[in-house]
Amino acid sequence: MSSPSWKKVLWERQPYPDSFIPPESFLSALRRNPNFTPYTYWPLASLCCAITQHLGAVFTFLVVFVRLKERSLDARVVLWISVTLFMLGYLAWEVLNYANPVHGPSTRSKVFKSSLLVFLALMGLAPVLRTLTAATSSDSIWALSACLFLLNTLLADYSCMKPGSHTQERLTSVLSMNAAMSSSVVLASRLPDDLSVFSLILFAVQLFALFPILRHRFWGISTALQAFVTISISTLSLILTMSLSVSVCMVVIGIYVAVNFIAPGVLVWAQKYKNEIRGPWDVAVPRLNWT
């Protein structure tokens, strides 16, 4: 005599005990890693370029600050570099906009007006900023600016923008920019004269406010461009740090290698532990015709 086969129903009493576990059908609806596409190494490494570029900018800024503070770099040179960078960046922006236009609110006259406004405002504020933290000890300033740069690096928007799409700026990237600007302001307040303060802050605006926007636009263009920008920024920062201290330069090299080459490898390796469990108990996603 064969007993009727077990069915997955509750409304019928079956000739099996309640603790019976059907050998075949139990957990048959379980799916592991259903929509899983594994990462590969090189695309991840190229995505990490954005982080390296950002770190490069931070280190370059720090070297410029140290040089200005030690008076081994003329503030006027920094000023002219900033102005040149702005011109070059704006030119690149115009070229990119010509190739594939992103409709934004900025017209040329507006850009000119606002950049002039920032320029003059910073110039006017420089004496105020120079004495801003006169009553605070330098140790507190170093600690504060280190924390702020850390926050800036953690929160920065490293996502890649698809060409043609217009994404809303996220809160974290705004916070990140603010952290970097605050950090530059408190560092600038340690500098000896008004012109250094002015040129450092102008330089910070280029690196932390304008460069991320341009970096975003660079994204979808080509990997070669991406690699070129990354290599040039990181090499520049390395050369500048080398002139200050070799040991610091070694640390910076270590950071770049870890971020750009080791971290993607660790992520690729860690994927073998990925175990996503899906089953009929998951909250279903309703499919609607209007979206």
Partner 1 sequence: MKDGALAIAMISDFFYPSVGGVENHIYMLSANLIRRGHKVIVITHSHPPDRVGVRWLLPSLKVYYIPFPTIASSATLPNYFTFLPYFRTIIVREHINLIHAHASLSSLGQEGILHSHFFGVRTVFTDHSLFGFEDAASILTNKLLAAALKNVDAVICVSHTGRENTVLRGQLFEPSEDDPSVSVMRQSVYTIPNALVAEQFTPSPQPRPSETINIVVISRLAYRKGIDLLVATAPRICAAFPNVKFIVGGDGPKLNDLLQVRERHLLQDRIELLGPIRHRDVRDVLIRGSIFLNTSLTESFGIAILEAACTGLYVVATRVGGVPEILPEDMISFANPDEDDVFRAISEAIHIVSQGKHDPLKAHERVKSFYDWMEVAERTEVVYNTVIRSDPIDFGTRVRRSMDLGPSAGVIYTTILIVDCLFFLLLEWWMPREDMDFVQAHWKTEVFSELAQETSRARRGQLRRFT
**In this chain, which stretch among 13-21, 109-117, 131-139, 163-171 interacts with partner 1, using CB under 8 A?**
13-21
Q: Which is nearer to partner 1, 12 or 139 (CB)?
A: 12
Alpha-carbon gap, residue 181 to 283, rounded angstroms: 43
Q: Which of 15, 24, 27, 35 binds partner 1 (CB under 8 A)?
A: 27
Query: Could you count the other beta carbons within 10 Å of the beta carbon of residue 203?
Result: 23
> Could you say whether residue 108 binds partner 1 (CB under 8 A)?
no
CA atoms within 13 A on the CB side of 98: 6
Q: Which is nearer to partner 1, 38 or 280 (CB)?
A: 280
Structure tokens given for 76: 């006027």
* Total residues in contact with partner 1, by rule CB under 8 A: 28
Site residues (CB under 8 A) for partner 1, limited to 262-281: 276-277, 279-281
Q: Which is nearer to partner 1, 8 or 166 (CB)?
A: 8
> CB of 66: closest distance to partner 1 in angstroms?
42
Beta partners for 31? Answer: 278
Q: Which of 2, 3, 15, 18 binds partner 1 (CB under 8 A)?
A: 18
The 3-class secondary structure across 124-157, one letter per residue, is: HHHHHHHCCCCCCCHHHHHHHHHHHHHHHHHHCC
> Could you say whether residue 285 binds partner 1 (CB under 8 A)?
yes
Q: Which position has the token pair 């920019």?
A: 177
Alpha-carbon gap, residue 88 to 171, rounded angstroms: 28
- Contact at 8 Å (CB) between 208 and 177? yes
Q: Which residues bind partner 1 (CB under 8 A)?
A: 8-13, 17-19, 21, 26-27, 29-30, 276-277, 279-290
